[in-house]
């Protein structure tokens, strides 16, 4: 697609709207969706024939770890954003556990400057909580929200003292999200299993109880303080108990590995599926999937957390936790749509619309007049096998190596510009923009039917 195109017509697509799929043509002008129902003969500088393809809103992944600054031997904002574009992800919200961690607005701005130079998709960066930085968190603006590690993971960010948590919930206004694993329980389990080299013990150390205690604690804090709170990567069906009742303050998400993998996969995949929170049981996979379908959980993210294969091959527990996923997440879900397990509008809700609404991202997440043309064309007939060596992530591997999926993104547009296509590759010059947030217009809450809005 040429740089100069003012008006682009995506002709004859199957357009994935919030509640239906409609055949038609979408007219884009200056990066904005001008007309969802444009005629197929409307004048445009450029016409893209979408016959046989589905047009979806670009994925917004609200939980990724892209490693820059400081850990760029694993990933950086260029390699990660290219992986995003090739996976149909047009925007990401990145976590603060870089080196140094992003715990001040200066730290956030430093990341934004790197992203402006290196990221081919749109970006936003969470500010990380520490036991002492509530005043800094209270001042923060133009970020998606505050990230708390209630249980420790990669890096040294941890806030598990009740007084510090109460202070953060009481003294800040930005939405909060948290990694919920109870540090005391994890440490006790680790002591009990000290000396183990069995990777399966990872799920015994970071067990269901650890997840439940922390999720209960965090959701209690949110309700008491009436503070918007998003539970990251729910890993157990047991935690659903704290999310089932609709609340104006609570939303939650699952990550793909928690519905695709379980402890029976350790013999086959070893540390490739070593994650925090740990992967759990088959019953948890099924319970979490059901919770997505019934609206108890609203968002799918990846927790893309690359480590090199060399690091991953260290014996447990020296092997680090985390796996890359951003370039396969949409395809994994499209494959589920192809097999009839869910619909494309549901996927668009879980992966685009709900994250945009929860984090108050302006102009994103839907195919609707006036929205930004961050879009992905997908081919539901395309079959492709995932191979480590073909991954765009700098870590060059995937826990889904060897799996063949049907349904793949074939072209990704950011602000109406093609940044990647399976035929033409990447536009090496294009750079994405900083996402804009409007938390006043938030007011989203979980209902049995999905997400409600204040309007």
Contact set with ligand DOR (CB under 6 A): 65, 97, 153-154, 179, 275-276, 303, 305, 321-322
Shortest Cβ distance from residue 5 to ligand DOR (Å)? 38
Nearer to ligand DOR, 58 or 320 (CB): 320
Shortest Cβ distance from residue 183 to ligand DOR (Å)? 13
Of all helices (H) and strands (E), which one includes residue 317? Answer: none
* Cα–Cα distance for residue pair 407/380, rounded to 1 Å: 4
| Helix locations, 193-340, DSSP H | 201-205, 208-225, 256-260, 266-269, 282-293, 309-312, 329-338
Nearer to ligand DOR, 302 or 421 (CB): 302
SS3 7: strand
Nearer to ligand DOR, 149 or 408 (CB): 149
Residue 405 pairs with which residues in a beta bridge? 384
* Cα–Cα distance for residue pair 79/112, rounded to 1 Å: 16
Nearer to ligand DOR, 185 or 321 (CB): 321
Shortest Cβ distance from residue 179 to ligand DOR (Å)? 5
Shortest Cβ distance from residue 333 to ligand DOR (Å)? 20
SS3 361: strand
Shortest Cβ distance from residue 97 to ligand DOR (Å)? 5
What torsion, rounded to 10 degrees, do the Cα atoms 347, 352, 353, 359 define? 140
Nearer to ligand DOR, 322 or 355 (CB): 322
Q: What is the DSSP string of 63-79?
A: EE---TTT-TTT--HHH
Shortest Cβ distance from residue 54 to ligand DOR (Å)? 32
Nearer to ligand DOR, 154 or 329 (CB): 154
Nearer to ligand DOR, 260 or 408 (CB): 260
Shortest Cβ distance from residue 58 to ligand DOR (Å)? 24
* CA dist list (Å): 324 to 287, 443, 450: 24, 32, 28
Nearer to ligand DOR, 212 or 413 (CB): 212
* Cα–Cα distance for residue pair 375/384, rounded to 1 Å: 21
* Cα–Cα distance for residue pair 196/190, rounded to 1 Å: 9
Shortest Cβ distance from residue 111 to ligand DOR (Å)? 15
Taking phi first (over 0 means left), then psi (-120 to 50 degrees means alpha), and beta for anything else, what does residue 295 get?
left
Q: What is the DSSP string of 201-217?
A: HHHHHS-HHHHHHHHHH
Pairing of β 250-255 and β 299-301 = parallel
């Amino acid at each position: 697609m040429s740089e100069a195109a003012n008006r682009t017509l995506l002709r004859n697509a199957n357009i994935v709207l919030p509640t239906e799929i409609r055949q038609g043509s979408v007219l884009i002008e200056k990066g904005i969706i001008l007309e969802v129902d444009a005629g197929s003969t409307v004048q445009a500088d450029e016409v893209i024939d979408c016959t046989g393809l589905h047009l979806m809103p670009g994925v917004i992944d609200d939980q990724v770890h892209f490693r820059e600054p400081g850990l760029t031997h694993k990933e950086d904002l260029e390699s990660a954003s290219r992986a995003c574009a090739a996976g149909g992800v047009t925007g990401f919200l990145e976590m603060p556990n870089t080196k140094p961690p992003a715990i001040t607005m200066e730290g956030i701005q430093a990341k934004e400057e790197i992203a402006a130079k290196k990221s081919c998709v749109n970006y936003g960066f969470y500010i990380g909580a520490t036991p002492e930085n509530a005043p800094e968190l209270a001042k923060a603006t133009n970020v998606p929200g505050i990230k708390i590690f209630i249980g420790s993971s990669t890096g040294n960010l941890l806030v598990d003292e009740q007084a510090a948590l109460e202070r953060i919930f009481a003294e800040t206004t930005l939405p909060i999200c948290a990694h919920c694993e109870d540090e005391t329980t994890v440490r006790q389990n680790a002591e009990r299993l000290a000396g183990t080299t069995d990777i399966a013990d990872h799920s015994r150390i970071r067990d269901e109880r650890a997840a439940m205690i922390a999720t209960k604690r965090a959701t209690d804090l949110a309700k008491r303080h009436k503070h918007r709170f998003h539970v990251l990567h729910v890993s157990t069906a047991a935690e659903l108990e704290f999310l089932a009742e609709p609340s104006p303050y609570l939303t939650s998400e699952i990550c793909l590995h928690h519905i695709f993998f379980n402890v029976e996969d350790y013999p086959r995949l070893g540390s490739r599926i070593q994650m925090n929170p740990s992967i759990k049981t088959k019953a948890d996979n099924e319970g979490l999937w059901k919770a997505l379908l019934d609206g108890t959980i609203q968002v799918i993210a990846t927790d893309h957390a690359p480590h090199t294969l060399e690091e991953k091959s260290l014996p447990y527990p020296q092997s680090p936790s985390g796996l890359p996923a951003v370039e396969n997440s949409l395809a994994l879900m499209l494959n589920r749509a192809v097999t009839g397990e869910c619909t494309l509008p549901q996927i668009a809700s879980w992966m685009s619309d709900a994250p945009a609404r929860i984090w108050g991202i302006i102009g994103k997440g839907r195919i609707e007049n006036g929205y930004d043309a961050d879009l992905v064309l997908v081919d539901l007939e395309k079959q492709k096998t995932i191979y480590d060596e073909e991954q765009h992530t700098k870590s060059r591997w995937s826990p889904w190596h060897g799996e063949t999926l049907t349904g793949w993104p074939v072209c990704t547009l950011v602000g109406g510009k093609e940044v990647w296509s399976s035929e033409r590759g990447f536009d090496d010059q294009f750079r994405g923009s900083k996402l804009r947030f409007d938390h006043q217009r938030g007011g989203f809450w979980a209902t049995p039917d999905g997400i409600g809005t204040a309007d």
